[in-house]
Amino acid sequence: MLQRAARLPSRVLIQVRTTDGVFDATIGNLSPGGARLLGVPDHALKVGERIDIQAFGRQLQAEVRWNFDDTCGLLFSSPLSQTDIVAILGSRTIH
């Protein structure tokens, strides 16, 4: 059975860029492979859509994998490095 990657809880404010515009959201949890976004405006993201995220000087590309109410799940185009995770979350690290 596949084991899910460790997810680090967070409340990091980010900026999301889509082909239709820009909005702010919050990373609810983060792993090297993806993230859960909170506070997504109604109908702002569609499953399969590619987006850009600005978080603490990092620009990340991701695909929307699921969407429910004001929450969605993302799959990053490339896994985050430990350096990226530390920069986004501060002193928290994945073990």
Tokens linked to 36: 């859960």
Comparing 31-35, 51-55, 81-85, the range with the smallest average pLDDT is: 81-85
Mean pLDDT, rounded, for 34-63: 93
pLDDT bin (cut points 50, 70, 90) of residue 91 is very low
Please give the mean pLDDT across all residues of the chain.
87
Q: Are 51 and 16 in contact (CB under 8 A)?
A: yes
The class level of CATH for 8-84 reads: mainly beta
The percent of residues in the chain predicted with pLDDT above 90, rounded, is: 65
- Write the CB contacts of 56 (distance below 8 Å, at least 6 apart in sequence): 12, 87, 88
What's the whole-model pTM score? Answer: 0.84
Distances (CA, A) of 86 to 16, 30, 37, 43: 20, 11, 18, 31
